[in-house]
Structure formats: C-alpha cells, structure tokens
C-alpha cells in the first residue's frame, strides 16, 4: 500500500524519525559531490542538483525541477557509518549514543548492507561494533528516478526498485511535488499513520511504477548475463588480466568507494613512551602490496594479480565465502576509477575471448 507524502511534509517525516531518537543522515552537497552527512531538515538535501557520471567522470549539474533525490549514487555509501573508515578496537570504544536513520538509501545500497550483514554478523565471530550500529538503524529508501551511465544494478538483480530491508521507501514524483511512500516495517507504517498520509490513487501508483521501470530500462551498463563464477574460475590466467593491469594504477579508489568492500587492517599504536597502547582497525584494500604480506614478501606483488583478486572476489569467490555475490551494480568503481576501468567491460572481454 502506497501513500502520498507532499514535498511540504518531508520535514514532518524527518521530525517523526528524529523524535524516535535517531540521528538523521542523508545526502548533502560536499566537496563537489553528493555525499552522506548529518542533516537537520529538507533544506540540507541537494534539491535541484544532479550528477553526471561515466567511467572516470563525476560532475554535479543543476537541474531545473528542484528534485530532492534527482541524482544517482555519490562516492560514499552508508558503509562509512556502519563500518567506519577507522575505529578503535581496544580498549573498546564507547557505544554510539544515538541510533542512525539513513535517508535516501538506494536499492543497490540496501543490497550492499545485506551483503555486509552476512560478512560482519553472519559468521561464527560476529562483529559487535557493526552489529550495534546496524541493529535498529532506520532506513528511508528512495527508488531511483533515473539511471546513471555507470549504473548496472538491473543486471546484478539489485535494483532500481527497493524490495526489502527498508522502513520506508519513497518514489519521487517531481512534477507533482510529492512522493509516494510505502512502509517495509511496522515502525515505518506507524510513521505514515502519524503523518496522516492519504492512500495513493491507482493513477499515482502507476506513475511511480513507470518511473522505476523507465530507470530500469535506462541502465548505462550491464554485467554480462553469465555464470560469472564459472567464467572467472576458468580464466584466472586470461591475457585480459595483463591488459587491465597495464591501465590499473592500483590506487585502491574502487575499493574505497565500493559499498561492500570490507577488508580492514589492524594496527597497534601507543604513546612515544610505550604507554596507553591502543588497537585500531581501518579500511584496507587488496590493491596494496601489504594486503597479502607474509614474512619474506607479499603473495600478490603484481598489479595483475591484485586486480584479479579484486574482480574475482566481487563476482566469484565472495559467493563461496559468504553465500552471496559481492557486487551490487552501483557503478561507483567505474565512476571513481581515475583510469576509467569498467568492471562490466573487463568481464565482457574475458567472456568474449574465452
């Protein structure tokens, strides 16, 4: 069941969530990109802005319709909140005082959260830091109203319409200055009731469906529809790895913007006097030599082997390790690669020449 939420009621929605004790996090303009940050009202949202993305390119552009969510995904995902880039392990850091509410989360990002849930809390040694932040986080999802040139969520079966894992989901009907809102949880439904939203008409619902269908049809890219696990396992010595290694800078950008990459390194620090030792973890990347370091040297010394590790992990070995693929088709790795390397193109090239 979908309901109508006018643009003017967006701040009431935020207030209803905040009243329940949540800290609001949503899209904000920062450093020439749409990032995630603290928001207090709809005035903080990037209304009237969009982004143009392609391999190695990201540019903000003005749009004249004032849409609140008229952009694709930016360089950051909610990963930076659930799994911060750096945090203290020992002595244990204090638990966060507030629960987080994420505003504007896209279908690919919801899938990424579900994938990281598997990694961080699905095994024998769940991570309590992730669990505390993740558990009970409120999620207001947004169905994508447009596809970027690096988007390929349809071919990863991860979007553009959200299907689960949200409290509330919005579809923005820009011309009507309103959203259609649906609930995925009881607490979401409670808020819809509290705001006194009217049920959407059949025509409004059809208009919202048409928006996500149009987005799905406009995907900028597609992952080849193959058994990627078989393809990659059979082609670990494919000449394409040399080809891509000649372009790859091993800069790790793709892993930093990826919403599912979870590798972290653990480091001990202390004062100059050796007192007050602490243990920290911070995001690591399989593109660094240190990632595979053993006494005597690294296992993966070449860029070829590190790119192969990253791509085969995302699309093949992840399935063996965690029972799900590690890619959601968000396209960030393509957009933010300074060399414009395109994961879908690399897979297609391996498929074409094997």
Partner 1 sequence: MPRSPEPLLSPDTAIPPDWAEPRPWRVAGARRDTRDTVTLALTPPEPFAFLPGQFNMLSVPGIGEVPISISSDPAEGSRVLHTIRDVGAVTRALCAARPGDEIAVRGPYGTDWPLAAAAGGDLVIIAGGIGLPPLRPALYAALARRDDFGRIILLYGARTPADLLFPSELASWRARFDLDVDVTVDTAGGSWRGNVGVVPALIDRAPFDPGKATAFVVGPEIMMRFTVRALLAAGVAGDRVYLSMERNMQCAAALCGHCQLGPFLVCRDGPVFSYQSVARWLAIREL
Give the β-pairing of 22-30 and 99-105.
parallel
Check binding of 127 to partner 1 (CB under 8 A).
yes
Check binding of 32 to partner 1 (CB under 8 A).
no
- Is residue 47 a contact partner of residue 142, using CB atoms and an 8 Å limit? no
Nearer to partner 1, 215 or 285 (CB): 285
Q: DSSP letter string over 278-313? A: EEEEEE--TTSGGGGEETTEES--SHHHHHHHHHHI
Nearer to partner 1, 199 or 239 (CB): 239
Q: Which of 66, 85, 96, 126 binds partner 1 (CB under 8 A)?
A: 126
The nearest distance, CB 106 to partner 1, in angstroms, is 15
Judged by CB under 8 A, which stretch of 28-36, 140-148, 156-164, 172-180 contacts partner 1? 156-164
CA distance 87 to 102: 20
Angle (CA) 90-96-97 rounded to 5° is 140
How far from 158 is each of 64, 216, 240, 347, CA to CA, in Å? 29, 11, 27, 18
Query: 347: which residues sit within 8 A by CB, 6+ positions away?
Result: 223, 224, 226, 228, 231, 232, 311, 315
Nearer to partner 1, 14 or 283 (CB): 283
Query: Residue 315 is inside which H or E element, if any?
Result: none
Check binding of 304 to partner 1 (CB under 8 A).
yes
> What is the number of other CB atoms lying within 10 angstroms of the CB of residue 269?
10
The nearest distance, CB 339 to partner 1, in angstroms, is 21
The nearest distance, CB 53 to partner 1, in angstroms, is 23
Interface with partner 1 in residues 313-332 (CB under 8 A): 313, 316-317, 319-321, 323-325
Nearer to partner 1, 70 or 165 (CB): 165
Check binding of 199 to partner 1 (CB under 8 A).
no
Check binding of 117 to partner 1 (CB under 8 A).
yes
Residue (of 232, 262, 264, 255) closest to 332 by Cα position: 255
- Is residue 350 a contact partner of residue 316, using CB atoms and an 8 Å limit? no
Site string for partner 1, 225-254 (x = CB under 8 A): x----------xx-----------------
The nearest distance, CB 79 to partner 1, in angstroms, is 14
Check binding of 121 to partner 1 (CB under 8 A).
yes
Site string for partner 1, 89-108 (x = CB under 8 A): xx-x----------------
How far from 46 is each of 9, 29, 144, 162, 224, CA to CA, in Å? 17, 6, 15, 21, 33
Size of the site for partner 1 (CB under 8 A): 72
Residue (of 108, 111, 112) closest to 143 by Cα position: 108
The nearest distance, CB 11 to partner 1, in angstroms, is 26
The nearest distance, CB 277 to partner 1, in angstroms, is 3
Structure letter (DSSP) for residue 316: I
Nearer to partner 1, 82 or 208 (CB): 82
Interface with partner 1 in residues 250-269 (CB under 8 A): 262-269
Check binding of 115 to partner 1 (CB under 8 A).
yes
The nearest distance, CB 16 to partner 1, in angstroms, is 18
Nearer to partner 1, 128 or 193 (CB): 128
Interface with partner 1 in residues 51-70 (CB under 8 A): none
> What long-range pairs does 188-193 form, CB within 8 A, spacing at least 24?
191/13, 191/16, 191/17, 191/167, 192/3, 192/168
CA distance 83 to 101: 15
List b or e across 12-27, with b for residues whose CB sees 16 or more CB atoms inside 10 angstroms.
bbbebbbeeebbbbbb
Interface with partner 1 in residues 271-300 (CB under 8 A): 274, 277-279, 281, 284, 286, 291-296, 299-300
Check binding of 202 to partner 1 (CB under 8 A).
no
């Amino acid at each position: 069941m979908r309901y109508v939420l006018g643009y003017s009621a967006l701040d009431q929605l935020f207030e209803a969530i905040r009243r329940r004790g949540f800290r609001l996090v949503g899209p904000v303009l920062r450093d020439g990109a749409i990032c995630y940050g603290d928001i207090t009202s709809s005035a903080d949202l990037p209304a009237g802005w969009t982004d143009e993305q392609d391999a190695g390119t990201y540019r903000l552009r003005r749009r004249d319709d004032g849409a609140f969510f008229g952009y694709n995904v930016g360089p950051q995902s909610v990963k930076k909140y659930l799994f911060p880039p750096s945090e203290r392990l020992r002595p244990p850091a204090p638990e966060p005082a507030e629960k987080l509410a994420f505003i504007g989360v896209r279908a690919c990002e919801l899938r990424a959260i579900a994938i990281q849930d598997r990694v961080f809390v699905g095994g024998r040694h769940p991570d309590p830091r992730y669990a505390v932040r993740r558990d009970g986080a409120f999620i207001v999802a947004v169905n994508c109203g447009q596809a970027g040139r690096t988007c390929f969520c349809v071919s990863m079966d991860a979007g553009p319409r959200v299907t689960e894992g949200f409290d509330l989901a919005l579809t923005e009907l820009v011309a009507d200055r309103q959203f259609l809102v649906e609930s995925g949880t009881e607490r979401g439904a409670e808020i819809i009731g509290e705001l006194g939203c009217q049920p959407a008409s059949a025509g409004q619902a059809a208009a919202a469906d048409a928006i996500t269908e149009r987005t799905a049809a406009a995907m900028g890219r597609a992952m080849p529809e193959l058994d990627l696990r078989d393809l990659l396992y059979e082609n670990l010595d494919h000449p394409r790895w040399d080809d891509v290694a000649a372009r790859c800078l091993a800069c790790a950008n793709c892993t930093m913007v990826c919403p599912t990459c979870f590798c972290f390194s653990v480091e001990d620090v202390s004062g100059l006097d050796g007192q007050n030792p602490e243990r920290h973890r911070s995001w690591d990347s399989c593109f660094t030599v240190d990632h595979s370091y053993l006494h005597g040297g690294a296992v993966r010394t070449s860029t070829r082997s590190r790119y192969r590790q990253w791509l085969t992990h995302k699309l093949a070995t992840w399935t063996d390790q965690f029972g799900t693929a590690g890619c959601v088709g968000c396209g960030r790795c393509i957009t933010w690669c300074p060399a414009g390397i395109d994961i879908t193109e690399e897979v297609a090239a391996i498929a074409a020449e094997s």
